[in-house]
A and B are shown apart, each in its own frame.
Chain A
């Protein structure tokens, strides 16, 4: 009943806002926002398929696939047959392997960040304890400290540990390896995961777990049957943040990967120096594609009142 009255008042106030001058401002704001988001993407699209695009032209006079040919994603004009595509892609173009590596590192970092972040977020969201504020502050420090400050020191330590491990008979490389890069990606990722999930747990009623326990459920069952369904929307949002933060890392990958771990941003930055607008635009399109795809899928969880919520609430 109260829900009904609430929604009817909000919709009537929306109607009021869409009258007269307010209505013009409302649609103008939406239009400008869409323009700011979409216009650069359109520019990328045009650039990626333009042969040359110079100042007075509104659209390029000549179109071409030369950027995609240079990235070895599309065969040259003569061999655009199925065989041509197969033989080109069979050699695994750099862009494809970089894309694959970025996806792989993103997935690994997301998985580990959730595993590490979930218990921390639960403790921060549910319990009050001495030193909580200090811990909360420590969790967000990676967003304050510049990455270069800790990554240089971390790399020196990684190299030391690598030497020590090798001496001990475990040749495991952290520096210049996918493992090392994944570990260092966790640094900027963790604050987002912990903060998002602790918000979820602040709204979570642990009595549901006690109830399931009392009915005979063991700890593992409780996690799958009670905790997980309650935090799933928030977990999804946290995973999304984790993936996107990892996906967009350049500096950390560069420093710890030592040029041996080639993710998509590494290619993008290398191309940016080359000055070939078409190649930069094509790479940028590939770079933002997963982000846009994920956002489209996740819009359900990110919109309105369901954003980053979950946890049943306290009834």
Chain B
């Protein structure tokens, strides 16, 4: 159980003008599971390697339980990283791989054997001690890599894209397994992912990093309801951005006046709402009702995506196919934007 604090962490690689990670601040509660989310090249893996000690920061500090570990050698930090491509030592058996960290710590042979068996049981791979890494599937290798990290009971577990090399069904299985073990052992865990769904489902809290900067650090649902800025909203699938002014609980824009939730920020800004929160046709009722013209309709199987023109503004909506079956392109359609689903970005 370790509280992780990252203060003003910066990494600038030589020969590059832009910092890979710029002034990153993050507090990770003891025992929590946090996702570092961002597109590839955003600096999330760089951040993780700095925490593990495998990269030296240009500036800033990293603290475990309020003690700086920046000058502690990586092998003594107790932060174990599991790499994206598993990196099982090919010439060792599974038992030797998993027991490696304990062997380094000079644990008794008999105890190592016992702990290795226990941890392999925990990752649901009992009895594979004498096999070689090359005999295992990707999912099994990933679980062995996880077991190898867990067996040393690290202060901090760092997972680099733990699910990205796996098939869809294995991904769900391993996702649940990671969550399960993390809860059971209570190890503070940070994982890196580019998949927002993975981050949302697995993590207690999500840190979104774009271009080396932390954009928002919050519970997963906040990214949908209260995104920090337009880039954050877009990363989470937001598509509606309308300029205007927020004052006294209403948003004034070209398409009309809209009622806002009571905690919406005031001033000039951008109104945003999620496509799936737009109510269409018969469902459109009550506050913030607008008349729109349907300009495009795409059937996506379980959903239908609609483009609706209100004056010069285009609103994207996602609806249940049955609800919008009767509407044709160029037809007038009523829509409503429930105030609780609106948010204003004032940056």
Contacts and interface: CB of A to CB of B under 8 A. Distances in A.
Contact of A214 (B75, B85, B86, B105): B75
Contacts of B90: 312
Contacts of A207: 83, 85, 87
Nearest to B138: A315
A211 interface: yes
A208 B89 contact: yes
B52 interface: yes
A221 interface: yes
B87 A215 contact: no
Given A210-B54, A215-B80, 12 more contacts: A210-B83, A213-B74, A213-B75, A214-B52, A214-B80, A215-B152, A216-B75, A216-B78, A226-B89, A229-B89, A314-B85, A315-B86
Contacts of B78: 216
A215 B79 contact: no
A217 B104 contact: yes
Interface string A213-244: 11111100100011001000000000000000
A312 to B, nearest CB: 6
Contact of A215 (B73, B85, B86, B104): B104
Contacts of B87: 205, 207-208, 211, 315
A212 B104 CA distance: 10
A217 B81 contact: no
Interface in A296-315: 312, 314-315
Q: Which secondary structure dominates where chain A touches chain B?
A: helix
Contacts of A215: 75, 80, 100-101, 104, 148-149, 152
A217 to B, nearest CB: 5
User: Which of B83, B86, B87, B91 has the most CB atoms of chain A within a 10 A radius of its CB?
Assistant: B87
A155 to B, nearest CB: 44
A208 B54 CA distance: 12
The 8 closest A-B pairs by CB, nearest first: A215-B101, A211-B87, A214-B81, A216-B104, A315-B85, A210-B54, A216-B75, A229-B91
22 contacts: A207-B87, A211-B83, A211-B87, A212-B100, A214-B53, A214-B79, A214-B158, A215-B75, A215-B80, A215-B100, A215-B148, A215-B149, A215-B152, A216-B75, A216-B101, A216-B104, A216-B105, A217-B75, A229-B91, A312-B90, A314-B85, A315-B86
A216 B152 contact: yes
A85 to B, nearest CB: 46
User: Which of A205, A215, A218, A226 has the most CB atoms of chain B within a 10 A radius of its CB?
Assistant: A215
Interface in B69-126: 73-76, 78-81, 83, 85-87, 89-91, 100-101, 104-105
Nearest to B100: A215
A218 B75 contact: yes
Interface of B: 52-54, 73-76, 78-81, 83, 85-87, 89-91, 100-101, 104-105, 148-149, 152, 158
Contacts of A212: 89, 100
Contacts of A216: 75-76, 78, 80, 101, 104-105, 152
Contacts of B105: 216
A315 B89 CA distance: 11
Interface in A65-85: none
Nearest to B148: A215
B288 to A, nearest CB: 52
Nearest to A212: B100
A218 B73 CA distance: 9
A214 B73 CA distance: 10
A315 B100 CA distance: 20
Nearest to A314: B85
Nearest to A222: B75
A211 to B, nearest CB: 4
Nearest to A215: B101
B104 A214 contact: no
Nearest to B76: A216
A315 B80 CA distance: 20
A219 B75 CA distance: 9
A221 B54 CA distance: 16
Nearest to B78: A216
Contacts of B83: 207, 210-211
A314 B91 CA distance: 15
Contacts of A214: 52-54, 74-75, 79-81, 158
A213 B54 contact: yes
A311 to B, nearest CB: 11
A312 B87 CA distance: 10
Contacts of B148: 215
A207 B87 CA distance: 8
A214 B85 CA distance: 15
User: Which of A207, A212, A315 has the most CB atoms of chain B within a 10 A radius of its CB?
Assistant: A315
User: Which of A211, A214, A315 has the most CB atoms of chain B within a 10 A radius of its CB?
Assistant: A214
Nearest to B80: A214
Nearest to B158: A214
Contacts of A213: 53-54, 74-75
A215 B153 CA distance: 10
